[in-house]
Amino acid sequence: MSHIKLLAQGINVAPMLWALQSNPQLWDQQTARTESPDSPHHELSDIWARYADPKTMREDGSHDSVWYPTSDFLPVKDLVYPLMQAAQGDRLGGVLITRIKPGQICKPHTDPGWHARYYQKFAIQIQSAPGQAFHFEGESLVTKPGDVFWFDNAFTHWVTNDSESDRITMIVCIKTDKGV
């Protein structure tokens, strides 16, 4: 069974890329995933567009997600809502935009915790180039801008960027009973 699957191609991501290039100050406002040298995401860059509402955080880590102010500067919802509809989503969780600079790697890891287990992970490739790939044991997926893919983060995965270009991916967490 594959842990990653290409779902669609040709989504228009140009407005998102332009908005990201026009708002560099949005990167790394939240560094919980990237600041620790022990994190597989260390030294990568994030924009958190949607995640936990601290007022709803429960002891088991469950929570309701809310839009963060960064979503006011980016056309995130223009990409997220059609994906939510296509996935027949029941509930929208976190929305995270990640950047892996040339020569960097998101190290092999699994994603633990309530949020990672509750939602299915979908991704929209915003920027990429040959030499970049998303990996699982025995399989890799090379994506182009506008590609949409699903992945199972319960299994060890990592991302490499052996290109001269930033790899920018928007990860969208959706609760759905629909199979992928």
List the CATH number of the domain containing 27. Answer: 2.60.120.330
CA quadruple 160, 165, 166, 170: dihedral sign: negative
**Domain, as residue range, for 139:** 4-175
Is residue 44 one of the residues assigned to a domain?
Answer: yes
pLDDT of residue 131: 96
Is residue 79 one of the residues assigned to a domain?
Answer: yes
110, 153 contact by CB (below 8 A): yes
Is residue 8 one of the residues assigned to a domain?
Answer: yes
Is residue 142 one of the residues assigned to a domain?
Answer: yes
Is residue 25 one of the residues assigned to a domain?
Answer: yes
Is residue 63 one of the residues assigned to a domain?
Answer: yes
Q: Is the pLDDT of residue 108 over 90?
A: yes
Tell me whether residue 76 is exposed, middle or buried, using C-beta atoms within 10 angstroms of its C-beta: 0 to 12, 13 to 18, 19 or more. buried
For the chain, how many structural domains are there in total? 1
Strands lying side by side in the sheet with 157-161: 105-109, 157-161, 132-136, 139-141
Record the pTM: 0.96
| Percent share of the chain, pLDDT over 70 | 100
Is residue 59 one of the residues assigned to a domain?
Answer: yes
Q: Please compute, for residue 16, the number of CA atoms within 13 A of its CA located in the half-sphere on the CB side.
A: 24
What residues form DSSP beta bridges with 132?
161
Look up residue 157 and give its two tokens: 């995965």
pLDDT of residue 114: 87
Backbone dihedral angles phi then psi of residue 94, each to the nearest 5 degrees? -70, 155
Is residue 180 one of the residues assigned to a domain?
Answer: no
